[in-house]
Amino acid sequence: MLHFKLGARVDGETILKGLQFIFQEQGMTESVHTWQDHGYLSTYINKNGSFANLRIYPHGFVLLDLQSYDGNSQGQEVNSLLNKVEERMKDSQDSTGRVKQLPPILRGGAIDRYWPTAHGRLVEYDIDEVVYDEDSPYQNTKILHSKQFVYILILSGDVNLAESDLAYTQAITGSGKEDYSGKDVLILGGGDGAYYIDQMVIDEYKKYVRKTCGDVLNNLKGDCYQVLIEDCIPVLKRYAKEGREFDYVINDLTAVPISTSPEEDSTWEFLRLILDLSMKVLKQDGKYFTQGNCLGHLYCPVEFSKEIIYVPSYLELWVFYTVWKKAKP
């Protein structure tokens, strides 16, 4: 992909004519579409299956996209074409200096390197191996290997957590400032995003992303912990009814909740419900940790602090909150 901005005195037809020969040299056949008010689209087709689109907009903005199938020989052909057009535009004084070529986008191969961030930004990861890729009745589970982030867990297309992301676990457990010894801790979720952590995920996670979970997932029950694989809302409601209280509630459920039952009529309502139930099972001097969330309309007044950290494999800043019940006056 290449794009550039034409100088004020240059018209689209001149540019089209000036670049044609580069494609014709490759034996590509040209077909030009002209709009009355929207400029030109020239499609160049090669016998080997590759093709190029040269789109010239009336205000002098030009985009060139090339597509080929084979990463080897045709990839070179694509590069050489893009470079020739880029050189031509830089030399010719027709462009106003804004010539930009983007790295090629590789699609359809065994390794998919494009995993957009939570905010939908396009990023290419340095993935070099697909370690695991299976569907369960609930979702697709992938473990990918990257030089930078080591093993990355991807659930239904969302980057979940990687071996590089100790910073995430630290932030959501209070950044090393809490003393958990002898305390009752309730963890909702576990870096799982909006997906269902089934046995398949646990099996692969403990095998590959071990640095983040140690040997905790070897058994779902230990001397001082128990892992429940079920919906946390009925569990929270039962605890609240029984009057069971915790020193810490860590909500690591999801950044973008997906409503699954009629009870939660909006994602915000879901978040509020979890937070409200969490407050009900939190001791008066307890602490609640989570990522970004809404704090109004709870059964009791609360106070909070926040911390912003960079999670390596997310390639993004994330906000983590600490919430506590307001001291009774």
Burial grade of 20 (CB within 10 A; 0-12, 13-18, 19 or more): middle
Q: Does residue 138 bind its own copies (CB under 8 A)? A: no
Direct distance between the N- and C-terminal alpha carbons of the chain, in angstroms, rounded to an integer: 63
CB nearer its own copies, residue 165 or residue 264: 165
Provide the minimum distance between the beta carbon of 253 and its own copies in the complex, in angstroms, as a whole number: 24
Q: Does residue 135 bind its own copies (CB under 8 A)? A: yes
Annotated catalytic residue: which of 252, 265, 276, 285?
Answer: 252
Binding to its own copies (CB under 8 A) within 50-79 occurs at 51, 53, 55, 57, 61, 63, 65, 67, 69
CB atoms within 10 A of CB 307: 15
By C-alpha distance, which of 2, 174, 202 is closest to 100? 2
Q: Are 99 and 2 in contact (CB under 8 A)?
A: yes
Q: Which residues pair with 247 in a beta bridge?
A: none
Applying CB under 8 A, which part among 80-88, 275-283, 285-293, 307-315 lies near its own copies?
307-315
How many residues does this entry show for the chain?
329
Provide the minimum distance between the beta carbon of 112 and its own copies in the complex, in angstroms, as a whole number: 7
CB atoms within 10 A of CB 176: 7
252 is catalytic: yes
Name the DSSP class of 221. B
11, 27, 93, 123: residue in contact with its own copies (rule CB under 8 A)? 123
Binding to its own copies (CB under 8 A) within 141-180 occurs at 147-148, 157, 164
What is the chain's Cα-based Rg? 27
Q: Which residues pair with 318 in a beta bridge?
A: 309
């579409």: which residue's tokens? 33
Q: What's the token pair of residue 201?
A: 């995920």
CB nearer its own copies, residue 138 or residue 324: 138
Applying CB under 8 A, which part among 37-45, 175-183, 258-266, 281-289 lies near its own copies?
37-45
Sign of torsion over alpha carbons 273, 138, 156, 66? negative
CB nearer its own copies, residue 2 or residue 172: 2
User: How many chain residues touch its own copies (CB under 8 A)?
Assistant: 54
Interacting residues toward its own copies by CB under 8 A? 1, 3, 5, 31, 33, 35, 37-39, 41, 43, 45, 47-49, 51, 53, 55, 57, 61, 63, 65, 67, 69, 97, 100, 102-103, 105, 107-108, 112-114, 116, 119-126, 135, 140, 147-148, 157, 164, 310, 312, 315-317
